[in-house]
Structure 1
Amino acid sequence: MKTWVRMKQNYELYIFMLPAVIVYLVFKYYPMYGVQIAFKDFNAGKGIWGSEWVGFEHFIRFFESYNFWSIMENTLSLSVLSLVFGFPMPIFVALMLNQMLAKRYKKFVQTVIYAPHFISTVVLVGMLHVFLSPNSGIVNHMIAFFGGEPVLFMSDEDWFRPLYVLSGIWQETGFAAIIYLAALAGVNPELHEAAVMDGASKWKRVLHVDIPGILPTIIILLVLALGNIMSVGFEKAFLMQSDLNYATSNIIPTYVYEQGIQKAQYSFSAAVGLFNSVINVVLLVAVNRIAKRLTETSLW
């Protein structure tokens, strides 16, 4: 009863929240109705309810497929490499920007590193093709200038992962640093003043004041990142994929697209996608529980 009274007293806030709730219900929760095709032999003519129930047949087929382990390896490799090299970078950038005293130079640097975030994935991959072209790319021109042979970066399977990870770091580091800069703004300046009075250097102030101050934010974002470790971006991987680098670029999202859209195996692709989502949920819950026990900071 008290809940309804509070809702009635603050009904304006709930009205503001209503559009977001409707969007999530329509575009996030209602489509979950179609997940059941992962357990059926979906036939468009019969519809979802009329299609034959096959249980876990599609999941077993995926687990027993010849390329299951290669797809898992490719997906996990991209995710882990992006996490290991990409996650710490915004923290370093935010800490360095926070120590800058020249405001104009600081704003200039922030603008420069934020800009790549607003470049679309299609344009980003196009830039990679231009810069890394074996004939006209500036990178291969520099390699040839120093006596080397042109490298087929975009076609070499060994270069797919480094290019994917490094381009992601370049594009997202600046924008991701905004969260840490906001957290650093909340650090009590009196702590820095006290540290300066005690003779602490900038490095020690960063280590003992700034990092502990933003540690809860780091933990929350790390939990979210680990919970999405199987969710590799489809767009960039698909645009960078070719027949020559297929061995390392074939990940779960591109495999789902290939099976579901190109081969019209809707039930099978839905099963693969559902498997991917379940793994993410399990990882999110497990990592959140571990973080709560070790640091008392968690999502819930």
Structure 2
Amino acid sequence: MEEHSWSERPVRDMLDQQMPPDRYSPEDRLNALLFHLRARIRADQAALRKHARLLGTPQGAIEALIRGDMHTLYAELDGEGGWPVLASLVAFGGGLDAGLDVLAAVKSEYEVIALGEQRPHLPTTAEELHRRGYRVRRRSRTPVEEVTDPKQVNTFPQLVQALRLLRSSRGDPPYREMAARSVHRLPGWNPELHEPRSHSGMQNAVKEDARPRLAAVLAFVRGCGVTDPQVGRAWEAAHARAAVHEELKHLPRYPPRLRDTVEEWAARTPTGP
């Protein structure tokens, strides 16, 4: 089988072939791209430092680039202009001299790193990879409908995770946009549970260890663009099961008989933040 260098084939094709995004971190992929650029033009450390000074690249960032420490590279750039600072060094003719295809690939990996703590909670779907310009083979995976199905929820951690995945499956709409959607009253939904949420309220609903109120859950679901009242009722039942599970955790060793049904529990005024 004939081998090709990165300079002879589209960079993203070669990167995805040699370092599939479902097996390698964006830090590893970004480091490989930058190493490829340095090797292609035989950029030594002295030349890199010289051009970094001309472009105003933070000294710590260029040192991290030379070491291949992408975490430190991002941290150094985060407060100094971020991506434009790195892009100037990558694309500058006297720097790494990247073409548009390589520059776009570097930018994609940098953007994933910039997601920070959100990144582990976001599923890497084939659609998302395609949107970012990657070309990967499709493989069997759990359908989005299954992982976001409220009928599979029985605890608050499961509820929070399902809400996160629901938002991700809808294209990760900005929280401010979700807050604006949550204001609209939808036919068939319980008007007594209609409580819009701010963008910060949306974020709080899916924090680690969150125990969101029912009204907050429904506002989040509406904010994701869900309008079907039957789906809304399924999320109500999911919250009720999570609340019952939470209550059972705090009962004594020999609890009294529980007479509440899930429907009766859902009808109660919820407590919590």
Q: TM-score, normalised by structure 2?
A: 0.23
For CA contacts below 8 A with separation 6 or more, give which structure has more relative contact order: 1
Q: TM-score, normalised by structure 1?
A: 0.22
Q: More helix by proportion, 1 or 2?
A: 1
